[in-house]
Amino acid sequence: MKTLLPMLRPALSLFVLLALVTGIVYPLAVTAIAKLAFADTAAGSLIVKDGKAVGSRLIGQNFADPKYFWGRPSATSPQPYNASASGGSNQGPLNPALLDAVKARIEALKTADPENTRPIPSDLVTASASGLDPHISPDAAHYQIERIARARQIAPSKVKAMVERNTEERQWGIFGEARVNVLELNLALDSVSR
């Protein structure tokens, strides 16, 4: 027992030191750096309107009203865009449940806009890997222009111009694809339609 005590003291000291460094010092340092260097993102990239947070640029929201742009379907449950349940459906392309879900989404889009004969962009009928994607492709936004123009009783050219203004190009011109943030576009629509 006496031979263990001299070895136990340095082991406990090292444990306490590493617990302090990795459990307190490191997380505080990373949080401070994030708040200084990336203040908006570290705070959740909140969108504030009239002094009230209405959403985040990073998490999609469920829009079902025909006068709004609809985002990608969410794979979260029990409610759509539930950030605490983030994750894909894990349904592969040969899974009959995925095929049924896509068929139902196509039917819902056709029912909402029966006059639209354009091909339906895939991001309007398939969920993203996280199930929380706040963006749609410019094609998905263009697909919805006529429905929204009719519902809001405004010229389609006006809605199209708003889509163009709210289209984000590829990051640094090389990464990803052009995209449209659905919440920001719908807020812009509401501000014009007042």
Tell me the pLDDT tens digit for each residue of 149-170. Answer: 999 999 999 999 999 999 999 8
> Per-residue pLDDT for 75 more than 90?
no
Q: Collect all residues with Cβ–Cβ distance below 8 Å to 53 and sequence separation of at least 6.
A: 46, 47
Residues 119 and 146 in one domain: yes
For 4, the token pair is 């263990």
Residues 94 and 9 in one domain: no
pLDDT grade, residue 1 (50/70/90)? low
Residues 17 and 82 in one domain: no
pLDDT of residue 67: 92
Domain range enclosing 23: 5-39
Other beta carbons less than 10 A from residue 141's beta carbon: 27
Residues 23 and 117 in one domain: no
Residues 107 and 172 in one domain: yes
Rounded CA gap, 95 and 92, in Å? Answer: 5
Residues 16 and 66 in one domain: no
Residues 83 and 22 in one domain: no
> Per-residue pLDDT for 44 more than 90?
no
pLDDT of residue 89: 66
* Structural domains in the chain (count): 2
**149 and 102 in contact (C-beta within 8 Å)?**
no
Q: Which string of b and e fits 14-44 if b means at least 16 CB within 10 Å?
A: eeeeeeeeeeeeeeeeeeeeeeeeeeeeeee
Residues 19 and 115 in one domain: no
Other beta carbons less than 10 A from residue 166's beta carbon: 20
Residues 13 and 58 in one domain: no
Q: Could you identify the residue written with the tokens 């203004």?
A: 165
pLDDT of residue 142: 96
Rounded CA gap, 69 and 55, in Å? Answer: 15
pLDDT of residue 74: 84
Q: Which of 11-25, 29-43, 98-112 has the lowest mean pLDDT?
A: 29-43
> Per-residue pLDDT for 194 more than 60?
no
Q: Round the average pLDDT of the chain to a whole number and report it.
A: 87
Residues 21 and 106 in one domain: no
Regarding predicted confidence, which is higher, 153 or 86?
A: 153
Residues 100 and 34 in one domain: no
Residues 20 and 108 in one domain: no
Distance of CA 90 to the CA centre of its chain: 18
pLDDT of residue 23: 95
Q: Which of 88, 80, 84, 46 is nearest to 63 (CA)?
A: 80
